Structure formats: structure tokens, C-alpha cells
Amino acid sequence: MEKTHYITPAPLTFGTIQSILSEGKRIALSEESSNLIIKCKKWLDKKLADEEGPVYGINTGFGALHNRSISRTDLNKLQENLLLSHACGAGPEVPRDVVRLMLLLKIHALSLGKSGVQLKTVERLIDFFNNGIVPVVLEQGSLGASGDLAPLAHLFLPLLGHGEVWIDDKKADASEMLLQFGWEPIKLEAKEGLALLNGTQFMSAYAVYTLIRTFRISRQADLIAALSIDAFNGKIDPFTEILQSVRPHAGQLETARHIRELLDGSEIISSRHKEVQDPYSFRCIPQVHGAVKDAIDYVAKVVQTEINSVTDNPIVFPDEEVILSGGNFHGEPLALALDFLGIAVSELASISERRIYRLISGERGLPVFLVANPGLNSGFMIPQYAAASIVSLNKQLATPASVDSIPSSNEQEDHVSMGGNAATKALKIVQNVERVLAIELFNAAQAIEFRRPAKSSEILETLLKDYRKEVAFIHEDKIMYMEIEKTIRFLQSRKENALRF
């Protein structure tokens, strides 16, 4: 029996979103949400029927054309033209999981009853979601200011029978999709096109998707670092509770506690033959990983607020009997947060690459490049090159997008957030970090074998046992990228109990 999640005005959480996507749940409107949508549309229709004055985007043009009045007979055509003209994205396709998130988040936002849309429009979007219909959306084109105009236009073109969609891994014209399901195109009414296009669901969907991956990666960074500590014959002293208590940042305390738990019972960590101090990349794991956790938590709080907000324009308040045009579509909160996320998470790869280097450098009794007969074999020399290249790329990607602004719409939209670019590159950074962490695991698993017969902790030995089912110990040179790809898939398959919100 299929599970159903009912959309209500109650806030969406990361846990709820993840369960909807991972468990393949259907979604449906609650009676409360349906009533809110109907109430708002009914009030808006009466308002337009009773009054002659201009209301932005409803009976006027858009952006710099806001002073151009539109006749009542053209109001529907105005909204249709909006979708057609704004669907001018470029670049590669947005990942389909992100597009599904865009649909979910927009449905939730419209269900709050402040956007003036038809009930059947929201119900058709739910039909798309439940039937696995994924509109083709392109990655580039949003300024993240008047909402995510271009990507959202692509998302909603199929309502009219335009654009392209994915159905069961096959791409089709939206007109063919409507025929296949026996649906008529939606005839947009006053305000609807603007309600669909104004909003931050492109940025928000990328943010949610990236954060869910980041929660897992942050926990795995600790796990892999703990294995590297034992592989390097590092010390447990920098992780003691009393040391953290005199600088009690939440992430630092959590990281040190996690490392202590991961190494509890390790024969290697408790051995006496230790250097006086470890390099910063080992000794400062609580401070670096911890600061990243604190940054992730901050970003998650911003995103949590955003996905439960009304971000189109103008916003209809039926209870207060007013329509207000403002700037809730401006992506600055997300742009700044996503830039911060990219900067913070890139540090996990930066410090990881340094641990990778120390493991292959021939220190502390480990063979140079972690392989027998170095010279004949290059061993793990070049995976460190790959990690260094990826870390360097992340430094470029982590340059903030939000510090830029290019005016548009004849200077009517004279400050923009560039949050769309912040969103897409944040995901690229997280994907890169995952690759570097995979290379560290590949190295650490190799290095720890040179500590035998001493054993690590039960947790880490279990990790190694599972890992060795996928990636074997390297005795002599072989094609390494295949082993790295296996390691990435291994990490992606693990849960790590990582969801933080």
C-alpha cells in the first residue's frame, strides 16, 4: 500500500522531505490546505471584479512594464505569455531529484493560501509529482531576485502543454504527456503565472538537496578522519573532553565526542609509541570539522525558514483584505547562506587532502605511497594529485556569488542576489568534497593494514570489513580511478544516521 503525505500549513522539515522522496510517498492536499487555496482565489476574483485600479502583475505588465495596464479580456493571456517568455534557461539539465523537490516545495508554498491560484492548478502539480512526471529544467538563468524566474518557467510550462518532461526515464513533449494522461492544459487565470514564477523554489530545492547530502558527508568526514588517525598512529589527547570544554563551540564539542566514540577500544590509539604532537590536519579535526558543522546548522535553519515561507509577489491576504507587492522573492537570505555552505564544506576536503598527503609521505613507519616496492609501483601517489586538483577547484567554486549583482529589467530590478548560481555551485562543491573523502578512505584503509596485527576500534574494523567487500587491498599498481569510484558508491550507500533537522 502506497504511503501518502498530506500537505498542510504545518512546516516542512528535512526529515519529512527525505521520507517523501526516499520512501516514494504520494502527496495530497489536506482539506485545510484546499480550503485556504479556494478562499484566497475567491477573494482575489471578487477584488478584481469590484475594483478598477492597477494591481501589479495581475492587471499590469511585469518588471519595467509595471505601469502598462492590461485589459480584463487579456488577463489570462498575460499569465500564459509570462511563462512562455520567461522560459529562457540555458546549460545542462537540473538533476531530476532536484526538480521533484522544486515541485514539492512550490506545492507547499501555494498551499499556504496567499498566492491566488486555482485549486486545479495545484492539483495538477500534485499529479505531476505522484505520476513521476519531471519537467525539464535548465541549470542557468536565474538571478535569484525576482524569484527563480527562468527555471520556474521551465518547471511550469508543461501545465500549458509546452516544454519537455521526463516520464519513466524517457523524455517527451509536454503535449504528448497531457494526451497520455488524458489531461487538458491548465488555463491560467489572473495572477497565476506570476504566482508560479515568482518564488525561490529553484534555490531552495538545491539547498535542501545539497544539505541532505551534506548532513551525511559531515558525519562521514569524522568517520574517515578517525580511521586516518589510527592509520597515522595519531594521538587521542587532542580530542579529550576537558580540552574541548574550555572552547565550547557546539560543533567542536560534537566532533571531538564523535571521534572519541569512533576510536573507543582501538588497540592502535592506546599504544604508547606516539609522536609528541600530530600535524594540524589530525590534531585540529574538532576545530575544523566542528566549525563546518556549526555553519551547516546555520544554513539549515535559514533554509528551513525559506521552504516554509510565501515568496511570490504580490502576496494576497484575504483575511486582511489586502494585496501587497514587496520583495519576498529576493534570494539574498539563501544566496548568502549557500555561499557560506560552499565555503564551509570545502574545508572538509581541504583538511582531508592534507591527511591524504601525510599518509603517503613515508612518515611513522608507513611505506612511501603506501605500497610495496615503491619505484616499480607508484602506489597511492596519484590519488593525492586528484584530491589536490579537486580541492583547488573548490577554492574557485567557493568564491561567493552573492557579492555580485547585475541590474535587469531596465533597472527596475536593480539589485539581484545571484542565489541561483550560489545554489548550483554549492552542490558541485559538496559532490567534490565527497570525492576527496572517498580518496582519503581509500588511502586510510590501505595505510591501516601496515599497523597489523594491532586492531582499530570495533566500529572502524566493521567499516573496514564492509569496505573490503567492495575495494581490495592494493598489492601492486592497478587502475585506481575504478577503486575511487567504488569508494564513492560505498560512501553514498551508507546512512550514518546523519540527518540533523
C-alpha cell at 352: 582531508
Q: Which amino acid is at 89?
A: G
Please state, in angstroms and rounded to a whole number, the distance separating the CA atoms of residues 75 and 57: 10
445/465 Cα distance (integer angstroms): 10
Q: What angle do CA 169, 171, 175 make, to 5 degrees?
A: 130
In degrees and rounded to multiples of 5, residue 440 shows phi and psi of -65, -45
Q: Which residues partner with 91 through β-bridges? A: none
Which residue has 499590469 as its cell numbers?
A: 60
C-alpha to C-alpha distance for 231 and 129, rounded to whole angstroms: 47
Q: Three-state DSSP class for 333?
A: helix
Catalytic residue among 56, 206, 209, 467: 56
**Number of residues assigned to the chain:** 501
Evaluate whether 307 touches 12 at the Cβ level (below 8 Å): yes
Strand ranges across the sheet with 170-173 = 133-135, 164-167, 170-173
Single-letter amino acid code for the residue at 248: P
* Cell triple for 201: 523554489
Q: How far apart are CA 445 and CA 412, in angstroms?
A: 57
Rounded-to-integer distance, Cα 288 and Cα 268, Å: 24
Quote the CA–CA distance of 122 and 128 in Å, as a whole number.
Answer: 10
Rounded Cα distance between 216 and 500, Å, is 9
How far is residue 107's CA from residue 9's CA, in Å, rounded to a whole number? Answer: 11
Cα gap 208→95, rounded to integer Å: 13
Query: Got the DSSP string for 53-102?
Result: S--TTTSB-SGGGTT-B--GGGHHHHHHHHHHHH---EEEEPPHHHHHHH
- H or E element: which one contains 296? helix 285-307
CA distance 305 to 294: 17
How far apart are the C-alpha atoms of 344 and 226, rounded to whole Å? 20
Q: Please give the DSSP secondary-structure letter assigned to residue 361.
A: T
The CA distances from residue 21 to 26, 49, 204, 487, in Å, are: 9, 41, 16, 24
Write out the H or E segment, with its range, that includes residue 164: strand 164-167
* Host H or E run for residue 197: helix 192-197
Task: Identify whether 56 is a catalytic site residue.
Answer: yes
- Catalytic positions are 56
